[in-house]
Every structure is written in C-alpha cells, then in structure tokens.
Structure 1
Amino acid sequence: MDSPILHSLFENTTLDHSIARPVYLQLADILLDCIKTDKLRSGQKLPSTRDLAGLLQINRITVGKAYEELQMQGWLESFVGRGTFISAHLVDHEPETLTSSRHNPAIKKAGFRIPFQNYPDKATDIFIPELHLDDGYPDPSLAPLKELYRAYRNQLTRGGLYHRFGSYNDPAGPQYYRETLSDYLNTTRGLKTTAQNILSVRGTLMGINLVCTALIRPGDVVVSGIPGWKRADHNFLHAGARHIGIPVDEHGIVVETLKEICRTQKVRMVYVTPHHHYPTTVSLRIDRRLELLRLANEYGFIIFEDDYDFDFHYKHRPLLPLASADENGMVIYCGSFSKSFSPAFRMGYLVGAENVIEHLAQVRILLDRQGDHMLDNAMATILQDGTLQRYTRKAIAIYEERRDLFCGLLTDQLSDAVTFTVPEGGMTVWTTFADSINLESLAQKALRKGLLISDGKTHQYPDYSSNSIRLGFASASKDELTRSVAILKKTL
C-alpha cells in the first residue's frame, strides 16, 4: 500500500457479510465517511483495488465497484495509469461542518426557517379500540368493495394499454367518469351539468385547497359558519385570506349576519355545508338558502358548497343543493364518495361553470398532474350499472336503524348528562354534555375502558365554546352502539 497512513486508516475497517446491504456499498459508505470527516482530502490518492482488497480480505472486484459507485457520485476521479483520487473539485472543510450520516441520528430540524402557521393537528396513529363513536364515518363492511375491485380489475385488463398507462391524460379526469358522474348528479341532485362542468379531485380537502389556490388571493375575505370545519378554515388562512366566522343556529348559518358584512366589505367566498352543517348537522332553512344565493348574485362572491354526505338523509328526500338553483355560476359544488366507502378512498369532485373547471384543471397540474384515472373509471362503472345506487338505499336503511337505536340509548341511559336533537340525516349526533362534564377527561377515561370518542377540542373557537362533540353511529353495529353507551354511562 502506498502510504502507511492509509494503511492505518483501513486496517481496522470491518465489513459485515451477513447484512442485506452489499459489501461494496458498505465500503463506499466507509470511504465517503472518511472524505466527509477529512480523513481523506481532496486530491489524495487511494490504494489500488488490489492493495485494498488484500488488506480487507475481500474480492478485488468488490473494491472496484465501491470506487465506481463513488466516482459516479462525483466524490472520486480515476486516471488511466495513475490511479484513483479523491476529487480535486472538493473544497477542504472543517470536519465538523460535514458529519457522517452513518454515525449520526436522522436530522430532526432543518437548517432553514420554516414560516409558522397555526395548522390543525395532524391525524396521529392512536390506538383505535373495537368500540368507537367517531366523527361520522361510514361502515366499510357495507360498501360494494367487491364490485369496485372487479370494475378496477377490468380497467387493468382491457386493451389500449398505452392510452391508459403510457401517457398523461386530462387533469380534470377521464371523460367516461365525468360524463357518468354528470348524469348521476343531474338525476340525483337536480344539477344541470355536462362533463365539462366536472373536475375529479382526491376528496373534499383537495377540492377546497385547489379552489383556495386558484381563486383566493392574500387579503380576500372568506366567510364560514362558527363552529365549522377547521380543516377548511386553515385552508383559507393558508391562502392568506382574512377569515370571518358567522354564527350558526338551529337553522344553519345566520345569513343576516353575512348580509351586514357584505354591506361594509368585499367578500370573496362563503364556505357552507347547507345540507348537514358541520359539525352541528342542522340543515340550512329554505329562506336562508334563497337569500344566500341572492346575496351571491348581488355582491359577486363565490359560494363553496361542501355537500359531504348528501345521500344519507332519513326523514325525507335529501334537500337539493344550492347548486341546483344556481343560474349565474356563483356556486362551486363539492362532493365526495368517501362517505359511501371509507375515508381511505380519496374520491371527490368539484362542479362549477365550464371556465371555472378549466381554470382549476390548469392549476391542478401544478399540484397533481392528474388523478387516479383507473379508480375514477372503476367508480363510473359501478355508477352506471346501478351498484352504488343499490348500496346507498341499503345503507340508508341500516344507518337509520342505528341512528334510532343510538338516540334511544342516549335518551334512556344518559338523559341527565346530554342533550341532542335527532339528526334528520348524516352519520353522527351533535351531542351537548352538561357543563360539569370535562370532555377531555371523559375521552381519556372512555379510551381506557375501550371506547374512542372526541375530546371536543376541534370544535372550540376563541369566541365560541360549546361542551359538545360529534358521536358517530354509522360505523358501529347495534351491539357495539349498546356497549359504547354503557361505557359512557359507567364512565360518567
């Protein structure tokens, strides 16, 4: 070996033949570590592959592959007849400025500034027990998963592979899906659409974020009800909008308050969940619906209508969306199939005027070149053959039975602790607890007994406080609902 210093550098090197990482990459890691810690410096010659192989008692080819790996990455350079050297393009540095990744933990904090914003807490991987009164999720065991799987599989086995897999397609979604969805929405919701009015998105949140990115500018005023959905609220703030909350009573958002705001300042968008307001589940009364549309026409603001669970209404036929009465293109309508299947399925859509959808599709390319066209077309298949409609009729009957049982249990077992109104639709009961009950403590104690409920924090606002939570009944069986209420009673 050319240098006793290099000999001492490598003589204690150990390579582990029992682990999955190839030996040549282990050697490359060691060499890179020596370069980063200045044990090997710019321009320094490395031992020949024969010498280093003999010292380490490995195959010469292995050393050559390690050298080639680092040479391709730019750390080494090789010259015919002269040997292999540490790249002359590397600037010598202090050892502490470039430490070894092999001997240090994963980086926890970036070296650059991250702008602070009060985002909502992300979903954590908490233990979910068998019993849960959730935020209002569907029961995936009822969903037509086999039919969806069959339709998806058929997408993969049909011809035209290049058209399906070899190129990008329309960012608004596949034509077949948009045409089928247009017919479905026109039939079930009284909309007046064509395929050009439809944009496929990966769920409601993506739809809200896309609209905020494309149509909201810093300083724009966005109005929504309080309490509301904080995931939506934080999208408005992220876009730089000035968010104004207006009250919600037993008839939905108080539109009269919105009118007063419009008289004094320019409103860009109003976010509303009129069918079943989130989180309180109340429906927006007809006079307020009409007045909201009139105000939009008069003052020129966008109505973002989030119709997250249209299909699940029990007392009578679902109320038609605001979009069905919109004649001037003021409403952007957003729906989702997540409530039909599971939150794990990210399938949603935006409906709007053709030029709005075209604009949103152009902006969408910057975020997500296109959606899952295979899944979209599979969904179109089970829409077209009536599978989804049959499932919805079946699920409504089951969910209504569960609602009635659950509300009866709350009345019989917890009447001294809770008050609520039986919801006309949706998958959850907005339940107000007695002021003496600490919801955070209640949630912790219930979890220890095997029941998951909300602690109510997500529904608290600086100027609004209610000792209320959403207790979802749809995703639990009758037996599970009975056991859940028993745990609540015992915990209280």
Structure 2
Amino acid sequence: MFPYKTSIEFDRKCNQPLYLQLSNQIIQFIKNQQLPPSTKLPGSRTLAEQLQVHRKTIVACYEELLLQGWVESIPKKGTFVHHNLPALAQQKLDEITAYDVKKTTGFPFYKNAILPEKPGDKQEDFMYLNDGISDGRLTPIDDIARTYRRISAKRNTLKHLSYGSTYGNTTLREVLATYLNSTRGLHITKENVLITRGSQMGIWLSSQLLLQKEDVIVVGATNYGSADTTFLHRQASLQRVSVDKDGIVTDEIEKLCKQQQIKAVYVTSHHHHPTTVTLSAKRRIHLLNLARQYNFAIIEDDYDYDFNYNHAPILPLASHDTNGNVIYIGSVCKTVAPVFRIGYLIASKEFVDETSKLRGFIDRQGDALLEMTFASFIKSGDLDRHIRKVMKIYKQRRDLFCKLLKDELGDVFEFKIPKGGMAVWLKLSSKYSWSVIAEIARKYKLEIGAWERYDLANSQHNCIRIGFASYNETEMNELIHRLKITVEACKHITVKE
C-alpha cells in the first residue's frame, strides 16, 4: 500500500520543485521500509490524481528516483522499488528523539581531554566577562567596506579569486613589512612574513615545527591558556617559571638551560598575559642572550602592542634579534575587530618557508580580497587613525573601570592599574572563591566564564583577568553592579576553598 494519503506533504512556498519534494519523501518511505524492495509504485496518472499535482511532476519524480537507483522500471509492468536494495539498519524514529539523533555518533573517535570546552551561544540578557577584547562598535566598518568594494570592482582583482600563495597575499606582506619596520623597529622584508588567520594560528604553526613529544618549552607560571593548550597538545613538557612585576623571570630560565635542553620560550613581553606586566629591558636582553647561547626559539606573542596609555609602546624582542631566534606573532584582530581573521608570523625566511608549507595543508590560503583590503587600510594610514581614536576611548574606559572597582569593590579585589592593554588583573580576597562567585553570578545574569584557565599551574593565586575595552559607560556600571550584588550574596554562603 503506497503511504501517500496521510504522509505526503507539499510546501508550495518552498523554492524546491514539487517533484524533488515528492522524490525525497518517497526515498524516506523506502529507507524506513514503508516501501519494501519490489513494491510497485502507482502509475503516474493515478498518483497525480491522488496527490492533485500535474502528471509531469510524477514523471519527473520517478525519473529522479530511477537516476538515483532507488527504483527500477520494468517494461509493460510499471515502476518498482529496486529489488536489490539492502535494508537500512537504523533505529526507529519513535524510539529516539531528534536530539539524540544529532547528539550521538555511530562510530568511535578520539577525544582530547587537553582541549577545553568552548562556550555555547550567548543569552541576550546575560553579561559576559572577557579577558580583553576590542569594542566592535568602534570598528570603522564603513571605511573597510568601501575599500573592499573598490578593490573587488577592479578588473585586475579577478586573478586573486583563484588559488594563491600559502604565504598570504603578496601586497599585504609587503605593506606589513614596511609598517612593522617603521612602527616596531624590525628589519624585515616580505620573505620574513607569513599571513595567518590570527595569533593563535601563528602559535599553532610554530609549535608544530618546534616541538615533539617531551620537548621542553618554558612558559610563565601564569600564562596565556590557549598557548599552554597548544603546547600540551603537541605532548611537550611545559616548564613554568615565575612572573613578577618585571615580567617572566629570566634567571630561572637560565637555570633550566643549564639543567636540560630547552626548545623554546613563549613570552608575551609587552603586556604579559594574563597579568599585564611588561618585560623589563634588562630581562629582554638577558633572554635574547640566553636564546643565542643555548640555541632555543623565542615565540614572542605581541597580541596588543598598539594599546599603551602611559608611554610609547616598547619595541618588541624581535627588533633586537640579530641571530634569528625570535618568532614574532601578532594580528589585526585585536586592534580592529576579532571577526577580521588576519594575523602575521615574522621569522627567518627558512622558518617562514617551512610554516607556509604546513599552513597549506590546514588552510590552503587566506582571504585574498580581505588581505588586499587591509593592505590598503594600513598603507593609507586608516589603521593608525583608528588606533589613535580608540586609544583615547579605551584609556577613559580603563580609568572608569578601575575607579568603579576601587569605589564599589575595593574590599574584595586587589589590582594595579594596567599601563596598557585592554584588561585588568584582579586578585579576589581570600574570603571568597571564584567557583562560588561564578555559580552565584549566573543568578544575576552575569557569566564569569572559565576562571580556572588563569591558574593552569594550580598555584591558587585566586586571580582572574577582566577586560574593560568592550564596555561603554552604561554597560560598565551595570557590570560592576551585577558583580557587586553577586559578592554581597556570596558573603552569606561562601566557604574558603
């Protein structure tokens, strides 16, 4: 019996032709064994009358099923479900929910406990702490869009629509080399530049070439969690050294070098992540000398070079490197907006050549049109104008955020006003724990996030990093308000861990 009377439905507002809607439903009947092999289908005229569609719709449907191999046409007998179709082994739909279908997997696969869970979709009425991101509302989107349209309209742009270089767009590499030479004191050419999808991609590529199982990489006792995860994913051995007011303690690195072979040191020298402190000049020189003496790489992640409020930015380690030890990583994402996935990896030509080969296997090339757009955006001076504009705004937000913290929660948090960057490093009073704060905060529609990532070394420092740049004055006041009532609620229930 053909199950058409109650089961077949047509959506006449849908863009999909009726014959395809019908053929897809018949296929489902076959898969569900409602139409077993060798079942005869109604004649095209009969089925057309029953379904109240044109006969040509049924003919086209049967032809589609024939082409896909679901049915067979037997001369002078009619159209039949193919006799040789194996039964599809599957659970009945009434035994499982649609949620189960999407959640469960019918095959074994490897899971990696090192990789952290990523947050799901955000709820509209919640406020979310971040660890220092730019305010997308300040992005010069109209200027970028105009440049993108102008570049896209040029005839000579057509050649960039095919496969390009795994190094990234040549024009952007040339512009970045010039820009970084003038602003960061580097001495590079485009051959030293690989365009990436952001800083994290640069860290990942570097780790793939530098580290194998049990190779030693030195990081701070507090460190950027995603970098730690990247190195652990390579099964490297992380050796942690102290971080104080002058940055990562290089004397401890020297002791490690005398004890074992070091493959690399990871640093965020300008504003240490997460504590925001700056690596002192003395330690910069010491670290470079150690790299040269002990032949290890320095992965310098300069994630927020442009944001310095008290003085001019300090030149990166890469500007003083004459021995090819530094891999310098940065991005446009933090400066303009995270959605623009454009970053760079600067190193010796030899290293860049190898990273470009590796990059070609995971990401054949970047977005050439977007890269050309940002080449123009940088060369025209628009990037520098944007930086000057947001610097003033972010400085005001830093000052307001720190004032509100001091006035409203000064008995709860200890912190120093950061000289740069887009976040504050906060130490919670020992009376409280972040686990309890995070749980109670959700009652007031405030999401603290994965606070544990700031203490992967399990030193119990009770600190987290909170960004300020992405909140305007109204939002900042509301954020502090929710944090304050959370703390008030915790006073009655918090137990020291």
TM-score normalised by structure 2 residue count? 0.88
Identity across the alignment (%): 38
The alignment's C-alpha RMSD in Å is 2.8
Structure 2 counterparts to residues 192-203 of structure 1, below 5 A: 192-203=187-198
Q: Which residue number corresponds to residue 3 of structure 1?
A: none
State the shift of 1:126 in Å.
2.4
How many residue pairs end up in the alignment? 483
Matched, 1:326 2:326: no
Q: Which residue number corresponds to residue 372 of structure 1?
A: 367
Aligned match of 1:408 in 403, 406, 429?
403
Q: Match of 2:10, as an amino acid?
A: D
CA distance in 2: counterparts of 1:367 and 1:100, whole angstroms: 37
CA distance in 2: counterparts of 1:488 and 1:15, whole angstroms: 53
Aligned match of 1:396 in 391, 413, 418?
391
Matched, 1:151 2:147: yes
**2:238 match: secondary structure:** strand
CA distance in 1: counterparts of 2:156 and 2:376, whole angstroms: 18
CA distance in 2: counterparts of 1:149 and 1:463, whole angstroms: 45
State the shift of 1:103 in Å.
9.0
Q: Match of 2:119, as an amino acid?
A: A
Work out whether residues 179 and 195 of structure 1, in 8 Å CA contact, stay in contact via their aligned partners in 2: yes
CA distance in 2: counterparts of 1:371 and 1:271, whole angstroms: 25
Q: Which residue number corresponds to residue 284 of structure 2?
A: 289
- Assess, with a 3 A threshold, how the Cα gap between structure 1 residues 76 and 447 changes in structure 2: closer, same or farther: same
Aligned match of 2:423 in 423, 428, 435?
428
CA distance in 1: counterparts of 2:4 and 2:130, whole angstroms: 59
**2:263 match: secondary structure:** strand
**2:195 match: secondary structure:** strand
CA distance in 1: counterparts of 2:27 and 2:126, whole angstroms: 50
CA distance in 1: counterparts of 2:189 and 2:120, whole angstroms: 40
Aligned match of 1:25 in 20, 24, 39?
20
- Assess, with a 3 A threshold, how the Cα gap between structure 1 residues 80 and 154 changes in structure 2: closer, same or farther: farther
State the shift of 1:276 in Å.
0.8
Q: Which residue number corresponds to residue 4 of structure 1?
A: none
**1:267 match: secondary structure:** coil
Aligned match of 2:63 in 60, 68, 73?
68
Q: Match of 1:111, as an amino acid?
A: G
Matched, 1:178 2:151: no
**1:288 match: secondary structure:** helix
Work out whether residues 333 and 352 of structure 1, in 8 Å CA contact, stay in contact via their aligned partners in 2: yes
Structure 2 counterparts to residues 237-256 of structure 1, below 5 A: 237-256=232-251
CA distance in 2: counterparts of 1:478 and 1:42, whole angstroms: 68
Aligned match of 1:357 in 352, 355, 378?
352
Q: Deviations over 1:114-153 (max 9, x none)?
A: 2121211213222265866531112233332222122111
Aligned match of 1:16 in 10, 23, 29?
10
Q: Which moved more, 1:173-182 or 1:282-291?
A: 282-291
TM-score normalised by structure 1 residue count? 0.89
CA distance in 1: counterparts of 2:434 and 2:304, whole angstroms: 26
Q: Which moved more, 1:457-466 or 1:475-484?
A: 475-484
Structure 2 residue runs without a partner (length 5+): 488-497
Aligned match of 1:125 in 112, 121, 124?
121
Q: Which residue number corresponds to residue 451 of structure 2?
A: 456
Q: Which moved more, 1:126-135 or 1:352-361?
A: 126-135
Matched, 1:234 2:204: no
Q: Deviations over 1:285-340 (max 9, x none)?
A: 22222222222223322221110000111222211111111112221111111222
CA distance in 2: counterparts of 1:100 and 1:72, whole angstroms: 27
CA distance in 1: counterparts of 2:334 and 2:124, whole angstroms: 19
Aligned match of 2:300 in 292, 305, 308?
305
**1:334 match: secondary structure:** strand
- Assess, with a 3 A threshold, how the Cα gap between structure 1 residues 233 and 11 changes in structure 2: closer, same or farther: same
State the shift of 1:278 in Å.
0.8
Work out whether residues 12 and 18 of structure 2, in 8 Å CA contact, stay in contact via their aligned partners in 1: no
Aligned match of 1:343 in 338, 342, 346?
338
Structure 1 residue runs without a partner (length 5+): 1-6
CA distance in 1: counterparts of 2:242 and 2:60, whole angstroms: 69
**2:218 match: secondary structure:** strand
Work out whether residues 453 and 471 of structure 1, in 8 Å CA contact, stay in contact via their aligned partners in 2: no
Matched, 1:164 2:160: yes
Matched, 1:381 2:359: no
Q: Match of 1:160, as an amino acid?
A: N
Q: Deviations over 1:248-293 (max 9, x none)?
A: 2222222233333333333322221111111111112222222222
